[in-house]
Amino acid sequence: MDPPSFSDLYQRYAFNDVSLSTVVRFDEADQCREAQNLVRYLNSFGFRISTTADLFDAIQALEGEEELAAFRCHEGVAVSHASDGWWILFEEPPVGASSS
């Protein structure tokens, strides 16, 4: 089964007062403060994040985490923070794209 699109996920789970914080290509996450903070947070638990799969797996593995949620979607991995109301879409880089 194919994962849903980000738009479908967002419409299903986001409340009307929640807005999309940012869309960032995973290989450019170091240029987004929110993405950097999220990866640093996960690193503090010993997770090493080098792919969107790592990101998804790390968030799923956080025991007792009630604020962060990760969803696989067609474009990559969408992450939401319940109480702060932000969403970040980590898009997969195009096949063959080089990291900067």
Provide the whole-model pTM. Answer: 0.79
Q: Show me where the domains of the chain are located.
A: 6-91
Q: How confident is the model at residue 8 (pLDDT cuts 50, 70, 90)?
A: confident
User: How far apart, in whole angstroms, are the C-alpha atoms of residue 89 and residue 75?
Assistant: 8
Q: What is the mean pLDDT of residues 20-37?
A: 73
Tokens standing for residue 18: 């929640």
Q: What is the mean pLDDT of residues 50-79?
A: 93
